[in-house]
Amino acid sequence: MQTVYETMYILRPDLGDEQVEQNISKYENFLREQGAQDIEIQNRGKRRLAYEIGKHRDGIYIQMNYTNAASAIAPMERLMRLSEDVIRYLTIKQDARNREAKTTTVAEVTA
């Protein structure tokens, strides 16, 4: 069964633009291999962290929204946990009805 997920992860602030793009494409390709659909990725940029994580005060925030089976979440989080570039990650399950409502609202505004 396909479920809507949102994964937010924070990359080290000392990464260059090319390294950030490589990390984004790595996780996007992994999701595609796992059968994810409707992948939306937003680079939220470098922001101040609420508290220090591993001597880092800033981080580069990346948000991914996608539809996938629940069995693909654990392998992706394991890949992030083993990466030295990712300092935090969080995956949440979204309500599909809310996502459809947001899409409808955006479509109505642009029309």
Q: What pLDDT was estimated at residue 96?
A: 61
Q: What pLDDT was estimated at residue 2?
A: 79
Q: What pLDDT was estimated at residue 98?
A: 56
Residue 70 clears pLDDT 90, i.e. is over it: no
Question: Token pair of 22, please?
Answer: 């490589």
What distance in Å separates the CA atoms of residue 61 and residue 53, rounded to the nearest whole number?
14
Answer yes or no: pTM beyond 0.85: no
% of the chain residues with pLDDT over 70: 85
Domain range annotation of the chain: 2-110
With bands split at pLDDT 50, 70 and 90, how would you rate the model's confidence at 26?
very high
Question: Is residue 64 classed as helix, strand or coil in its secondary structure?
Answer: strand
Residue 107 clears pLDDT 70, i.e. is over it: no
With bands split at pLDDT 50, 70 and 90, how would you rate the model's confidence at 104?
very low
Task: Specify the fold of 2-110.
Answer: Alpha-Beta Plaits (3.30.70)
Torsion sign over Cα 91, 95, 99, 100: positive
